[in-house]
Every structure is written in structure tokens, then in C-alpha cells.
């Protein structure tokens, strides 16, 4: 079974951004040298076989 990566979803200046959290999130941040991911990068993670869990902000 594929491991899941958790991504916090935030809208920043009208753009949706994904913030990796947790153990896998830290590894993705090290690999990309970025704090946020685009939709294209999230789709690439899915393409690599990772399950993506989205955590929405309550505002």
C-alpha cells in the first residue's frame, strides 16, 4: 500500500498553495528546496504512487 503525504491547503493572494507536512512532507521540502507546492507538483507526487491527503484550513 502506498504511503500518504499530507498537504495543508491554503489560498494565498487568490492562488491555492499546498504546504507539505509530516515526515514525508519534510522529505519533499528537502528534495524540492521549497515550502509550497503547485497543483502540477501535487499531481507528480500522485504519479509517483503517493496517496495525497489534503488538510483544509478552517477560516
Structure confidence by residue, pLDDT tens digits, 12-25: 788 899 999 999 99
Cβ neighbours for 56, distance < 8 A, ≥ 6 positions apart: 9
Q: How confident is the model at residue 57 (pLDDT cuts 50, 70, 90)?
A: confident
Give the Å distances, CA to CA, from 7 to 11, 12, 47: 13, 15, 16
The pTM of this model reads: 0.84
Specify the pLDDT at position 24. Answer: 93
Q: Tell me the three state secondary structure of residue 13.
A: coil
Residue 42 DSSP label: H
Q: What is the pLDDT of residues 26-56, one digit of tens each?
A: 999 999 999 999 999 999 999 999 999 999 8
Amino acid at each position: 500500500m502506498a504511503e500518504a503525504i499530507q498537504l495543508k491547503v491554503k489560498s494565498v493572494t487568490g492562488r491555492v498553495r499546498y504546504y507539505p507536512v509530516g515526515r514525508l512532507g519534510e522529505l519533499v521540502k528537502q528534495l524540492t528546496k521549497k515550502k509550497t507546492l503547485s497543483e502540477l507538483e501535487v499531481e507528480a507526487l500522485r504519479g509517483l504512487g503517493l496517496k495525497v491527503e489534503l488538510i483544509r484550513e478552517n477560516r
